Structure 1
Amino acid sequence: MRLLMSSSDQDQGEIKRFANWKLDVGNGNISSIVSDESEVEISNDLFIITSDDHLSHLVDFANPNLLRNMSDYRYFQSKAILAPTLEYIEKVNDFVLTIFLGMENEYLSSDTICQADENEDIQQEWFTPEFLNDIKCSGLPNHKLTLKLGVAVMLLQNIDQTSGLNNGTRLIVNEIGNNVIGATVVTNRNIRDKVYIPRMNLIPSDSRLPFKFQLRQFPLTVCFAMTINKSRG
């Protein structure tokens, strides 16, 4: 897909070489076995070696002139930092939030056990607010959501498919209220539409949890960085 979108023969050649290198890594063609582990040599042009502050350099590389372009919806359409785990995603997103000017707005979720699980053979005293607040599930917002005007966010639920407000749609925050967030759509259908996202009651579908709980929160997450799996759409 990236080869088809390349703008010049030179870019296409570089992307093709990189694509072939990734395939060779996956197929084990260029790795060597050292102490029962596979080692792959990575070329220097893929490393951040020009700065002591690697995270800052990575953000500048992926989002050059971020504050100058924050009002341009097209700027956020094709930019994202990818990482394999939520731990690194949160670290990058928290750092980018500090770059934006203005006051932070912090939203905390309200978490409760679902009524259907009240009679289950599980110790109810386990379900303290602190315990529920610390649970993190794929596809659900965290207990604490921090936003600023101008930041890029992603929808985590299908809200209105006819309007293009689907899981994975990216938006720019332009209004911040207590119970509603105003934003501009930058991906998917209806680009540049202004929409309002309310707080919602959300129930995780993670089969690994032996109980069901509900959190009331905005179905949003800051998305300057996202997981590799989440980016595939």
Structure 2
Amino acid sequence: MEGGRTAHSALQLPLNIAEQQFPVYKISGTSGRGQLLKHAKIIFWDECTMAHKKSLEAMDRTLQELRKNSKLMGGALLILSGDFRQTLPVIPKSTPADEINACLKKSHLWPKVQILQLSKNMRVELSKDETAAHFAKILLQIGEGTYPTDQTTGLIELNSDFCNIATTENELIDKIYPNIIQNYTNVEWLFQRAILATKNNIVDDINFNILKKIPGEEKVEKSIDTMVSIEKSVNFPTEFLNSLQVPGMPLHCLRLKIGSPIILLRNLNSPKLCNGTRMIVKQLSNNVIEAELISGKNKGHSIYT
């Protein structure tokens, strides 16, 4: 949604919300965000099915307090959108039962939700693409649990009618980014493709291998790896600091090339520079990166960081 923000950013969701008994959002009524929530008539929460049930309950308590209104959501209309067949709340070291218990459907507020179902895939309808329609049909069957599975393993076996099959990482890269040497300067070509993975270390490995295929000199930027306090350096050696992978931050060794795509990991200047903004590296100097935005309404603009 254009101009939208993630729930954690917009609502200041506590990271440990699952551990709190009666959580609330830390939003001051006099702040800009607080004033916005006070006077908003409609609030849209997309992909809400990934949220913990306590996030919804915290929103109810927070809105009632900010708006001085004891009605549900402080009298504001909250529109939730999402699909429970997709990603559910991520609960570390949990069982499937724990994940289900954390879902919005398990909240005491769920019976008050009016459910409307959207059953027609408008993207497929408008494209009139038979291949896309077949793909959408199989996805729906997988989500409903009606797609055939292996009798012994219970796993879903996909064939070439559904997607391209790649048995190695290099084969996957070549299928998604064919003839990358000739096409990597084509912004539209790059923007139309991406490789998803389940873990960050897999993403890092794939990114490294794709970057090697792009011609040009590689520039390596390293994060600061020294302690402010000399006394604490004994407890935090350089090797340990270099191994840290902090969410929302790049790796210790950031490898870049002119023409390589990059993505912003945090909000710098919303809505122009926000988490998820994609860019292309145009120039690299000792302390400055010039990049061109390839997504959003500011597409084509250059930024310097």
Q: Which residue of 2 aligns with 1:81?
A: 195
CA displacement at 1:18 relative to structure 2: 2.7
TM-score by length of 1: 0.68
Which residue matches 2:155? 40
Aligned CA RMSD, in angstroms, stands at 2.8
- Written as runs of structure 1 = structure 2, the 5 A alignment for 1:155-174 is 155-162=264-271, 164-174=272-282
Question: Post-superposition shift, 1:16?
Answer: 1.6
Please point out which of 65, 72, 83 is paired with 2:179. Answer: 65
Q: How does 1:52-201 map to 2 (within 5 A)?
A: 54-113=168-227, 125-162=234-271, 164-197=272-305
Return the offset for 1:98: 1.1
**1:10-52: CA deviation from partner (whole Å, max 9, x where unpaired):** 133122223213304xx48744675xxx522312214635x7x
Name the CA shift for 1:124/1:95 in 2 (closer, same or farther; >3 Å): closer
By how many angstroms is 1:157 displaced? 1.6
Change (3 A) 1:125 1:192: same
The one-letter code of the counterpart of 1:192 is: G
Match of 1:79, SS? coil
Residue 33 and residue 9 in structure 1: after superposition, are their counterparts in 2 closer, same or farther (change >3 A)? Answer: closer
CA contact (8 A) 2:138 2:147 kept: no
CA distance in 2, matches of 1:8, 1:62: 23
Aligned counterparts of 1:98 and 1:70: Cα–Cα separation in 2: 12
Q: Which has the higher strand share?
A: 1
Kindly provide the CA deviation profile for residues 86-140 of structure 1, in whole angstroms up to 9, marking residues without a partner as x: 121111111111111111111111035578xx99xxx762211211110112211
TM-score (norm 2): 0.53
Residues 140 and 66 (structure 1), Cα distance of their counterparts in 2 relative to 1, 3 Å cut: same
C-alpha spacing 1:184/1:136, structure 2 compared with 1 (3 Å): same
**Distance in 2 (alpha carbons) for counterparts of 1:89 and 1:160:** 26
| CA offset digits 1:65-99 (Å, max 9, x no partner) | 32322222222223110000112111111111111
Q: Which moved more, 1:99-108 or 1:9-18?
A: 9-18
- For 2:211 and 2:275, how far apart are their aligned partners in 1? 22
Whether the 8 Å contact between 1:73 and 1:192 is mirrored in structure 2 is: no
CA distance in 2: counterparts of 1:192 and 1:148, whole angstroms: 19
More helix by share: 2
Question: If you compute each CA radius of gyration, which structure gives the higher value, 1 or 2?
Answer: 2
**Deviations along 1:145-167, whole A, 9 cap, x unmatched?**
011111111011211114x1111
